[in-house]
Structure 1
Amino acid sequence: EPALPYASEHPGLMHACAHDMHCAALLGVAAVLKEYASRMRGAVVFMFQPAEETDGGARAFIDAGVLTEHEPDAVFGLHMWPDLEVGKVGIREGPVMASLDSFDIELAGSTAHGAMPHRGRDAVLAASAVVIGLQQIVSRNVDPMEAAVVTVGTLHSGKARNIIADRAVITGTVRTLGEPGRELVAARIQEVTTMSARACGAESRLTYDRLLPTLANDERMCQIAAGSAQEVLGPGCIQHTKPSMAADDFSLFAERVPGCYLFFGCTAAGDAAYPLHNGHFSPSEGALPIACAVMARLCLDYSH
């Protein structure tokens, strides 16, 4: 929506998560390291992967052999972060982004005239009961000190206002910051779906897919990354950001190789901080040289 020279030319479509900046920053790091190649020990592999919010990008790289071919000792990733000002770098040890699961629920009832609901089995009613039940899992089954999010994103049912619907489809996602909570929520979704549908006289089928594990940063890699950032930006640049319930498939790399995912502030001082995936999201280009410098320094520091 902002009237900028690099705004999307396609209505309704944009880089609303700064992935164009991530690619530009990584190209910048490659250019810098090329100049310092004689000072490098070992090799740096640059991964320009798509689809980091699902399991399509990193998994495709792993399946293609990027880790087995190069056998890296460490892996580092970056993401622009509008909650931080330009010049700040968010680094946190341990869980930093959530796991991601998806679910699809199909409910089957039987049709009847809207004036004679007792002669049908209402899929809309069953879907409503399932949704309410799902939204109670976090508040009543998950430890209040643990983080979990159950989101119902779509619910489709019915063909006419005066017909009892015989089918409903619900889709959603589950995000947690630990495997115990992940297992608990998955089990409860199955129970809630089955029992809520049965109470309304409907049949149910649940498809549950485990897509991404929790992204957990390695303690030593965080220390190295923080040291590199401070060398470039000074001792006050590090922000110990809260974990995010968003997901990122960098977690697939980090569960196989010690790694650290860094968040670079991209909101200029005094500007409104529009969130990711917002039509007004417009990260400051001032974050680009900072990300390039920090990541290049990190590669040099780690190689030594």
Structure 2
Amino acid sequence: MVSTVSTSENIHKIRQEIQALQPWLVQVRRQIHQFPELGFQEQRTCQLIAQKLREWGIEHETGIAQTGVVALIRASKPGPVLAIRADIDALPITEKNDIPYRSQHDGKMHACGHDGHTAIALATACYLSQHRDAFAGTVKIIFQPAEEGPGGAKPMVEAGVLKNPDVDALIGLHLWNNLPLGTVGVRSGYLMAAVELFRCTLLGRGGHGAIPHQTTDAVVLAAQVVNALQTIVARNIDPLESVVLTVGELHAGSAYNAIADTANLRGTVRYYNPDYEGYIGKRIEEIIAGVCQSHSASYDLKYWQQYPPVVNDSAIADLVRSVAETVVETEAGVVPECQTMAGEDVSYFLREVPGCYFFLGAANPQKGLDYPHHHPRFNFDESALAMGVEMFVRCVEKFCR
């Protein structure tokens, strides 16, 4: 992929040389979209990434944290090391879009934009490899598996991807259907929430639906537990803090005239403030134990943290914001209040090095491209792809000098 278009007009717009890559970006994104792969199974995607990097003569390593890839673009002069991170995995969702590039893998879909992230990072690698005199130091591009679960960032950190050469800062983006096309969401501090998960089996005593006094009704237990858990946010958390507790699954019983002996619950907790780490899980168990004790029942609870909160470094966020102001068309196109209670394991990278994760608006309601993330009809306006490359390239040019 080589472009020879002039780059003279590059203020407040995407430079022509990067805009010329748009057809290639769309082609690669759609190729990845058709063959989605779940976490740590991204063999085909990994092979595609490695193939492109080989074609362009870019130094890279594969098989990191099973299916991760890391590329190195070294400038002609020494300088800092900036990492760019892109996630490559899909979700266990059956696609309902009627499009030519619909998923060919039943029950799997790129329903969150990771196919676009991968294409953007690849095009950024290619562009930078052709313009090594435009920056100093090294750019390390991290293609990370398993963001959607069970989590690939932590094992990549443990494998040493932030070392040799040591990374000074890291940036990453998420195509975001909660923002309109042509906008960038960037803020310092907390951007995305910590993610904690739990599953619980309530153990009662089943029996005949007409003889309840011989039983301990697991459905009644579950109803009381679900209601009581909501008091944690309502009465135990400072109302100025943001915390979400959701019971997303409840399964009990198998017959209309039988009292269930067990009920299974699964849910998630989200928060920003690290002071709540460990606290909410403790309160959940205390409430479940209390309800069960009042009914002479028992329980089996598993509770664990999946991802810590995403916290942006103020200096790197300022750099990304200043870059966004030169890329978006209007002043209102840079959106500072863009927090979400969704989680992201880029947080493990940002715990180790200063960095900034930002949102790239990709929704276009006029084209019907505004379904939410993780929806079976999720899709985004592919015009955002070239803008993502421009953002990354300008961040490199500003940081690595």
TM over 0.5: yes
Counterparts of residues 199-218 of structure 1 (less than 5 Å): 199-218=294-313
Using the size of structure 2 for normalisation, the TM-score is: 0.72
Rounded Cα–Cα distance in structure 2 between residues aligned with 1:263 and 1:160:
47
Q: Deviations over 1:119-154 (max 9, x none)?
A: 122222111111111122212222221111111111
Counterparts of residues 77-92 of structure 1 (less than 5 Å): 77-92=172-187
Aligned to 1:260: 356
Q: Which runs of 5+ in 1 are unaligned?
A: none
Rounded Cα–Cα distance in structure 2 between residues aligned with 1:13 and 1:23:
17
SS at match of 1:70: coil
> How far has the Cα of 1:292 moved from its partner?
0.5
Tell me whether 1:288 sits opposite 2:389 in the alignment: no
Q: 1:152 aligns with which of 242, 247, 271?
A: 247
> How far has the Cα of 1:235 moved from its partner?
6.1
Aligned to 1:61: 156
SS at match of 1:127: helix
Rounded Cα–Cα distance in structure 1 between residues aligned with 2:187 and 2:366:
25
Task: Say which is worse superposed, 43-52 or 234-243, in terms of deviation.
Answer: 234-243
Tell me whether 1:241 sits opposite 2:337 in the alignment: yes
Rounded Cα–Cα distance in structure 1 between residues aligned with 2:185 and 2:237:
28
Which amino acid in the other structure matches residue 338 of structure 2?
K
Counterparts of residues 65-76 of structure 1 (less than 5 Å): 65-76=160-171
Which amino acid in the other structure matches residue 243 of structure 1?
Q
Quick one: structure 1 residues 165 and 152, their matched pair in 2 at CA, closer, same or farther if it must change by over 3 Å? same
SS at match of 1:160: coil
State the aligned residue count: 304
Q: Deviations over 1:31-73 (max 9, x none)?
A: 1111111233221111111222345210121122212343201
Rounded Cα–Cα distance in structure 1 between residues aligned with 2:386 and 2:100:
19
Quick one: structure 1 residues 130 and 298, their matched pair in 2 at CA, closer, same or farther if it must change by over 3 Å? same
**Aligned-pair Cα RMSD in Å:** 1.8
Q: 1:140 aligns with which of 235, 238, 246?
A: 235
Tell me whether 1:298 sits opposite 2:395 in the alignment: yes
Which amino acid in the other structure matches residue 186 of structure 1?
G
Task: Say which is worse superposed, 125-134 or 63-72, in terms of deviation.
Answer: 63-72
Q: Which runs of 5+ in 2 are unaligned?
A: 1-95
Which amino acid in the other structure matches residue 16 of structure 1?
A
Quick one: structure 1 residues 132 and 269, their matched pair in 2 at CA, closer, same or farther if it must change by over 3 Å? closer
Greater RCO (CA < 8 Å, at least 6 residues apart): 1
> How far has the Cα of 1:262 moved from its partner?
1.2
Task: Say which is worse superposed, 242-251 or 68-77, in terms of deviation.
Answer: 68-77
Q: Deviations over 1:239-287 (max 9, x none)?
A: 1133100000001111111010011011237445321112332201100
Using the size of structure 1 for normalisation, the TM-score is: 0.94
Counterparts of residues 28-47 of structure 1 (less than 5 Å): 28-47=123-142
Rounded Cα–Cα distance in structure 1 between residues aligned with 2:371 and 2:200:
33
Tell me whether 1:231 sits opposite 2:326 in the alignment: yes
Percent identity, please: 38
